[in-house]
Amino acid sequence: MLTHYEGFAMTEMMGKPDNPPRANGSLCFSSEWERTAFGMALALAKQGYFEWDDFRDELIAEIKSWEDAHPVDRSSWNYYDRWLAALEKAAVKTGVLDADEIKAAFAT
């Protein structure tokens, strides 16, 4: 079926362990950086830099390792922190960026 990429991507996530927080039918971002992190991942996948499923595998793995490290106190949970970590990993794995480049960009 012909469908918008954005629609396809979000529909794929619904009801899965990595599905994004939303309120009243809309995605909800608590700050601008969360929105930017979300948009970058979708833009990269849409442009074919990596497969959406590959990004999601990273995201699911990130969520799981965070949960394993925080079995009791989950007050510091932030979905988009995990999203960002998954995005960096997916970008490195698929060769869009290399890890040193990211480190250097962050240091400046």
**Does 99 engage in binding with other proteins (CB under 8 A)?**
no
Q: Can you tell me which of 74, 95, 100, 105 binds other proteins, judged by CB under 8 A?
A: 105
Q: Which is nearer to other proteins, 57 or 97 (CB)?
A: 97
Q: Which is nearer to other proteins, 58 or 88 (CB)?
A: 88
What torsion, rounded to 10 degrees, do the Cα atoms 77, 79, 81, 83 define? 150
Name the strand (E) or helix (H) holding 45: helix 32-46
Cβ atoms of residues 29 and 39 within 8 Å: no
Least separation in angstroms between residue 58's CB and other proteins is 14
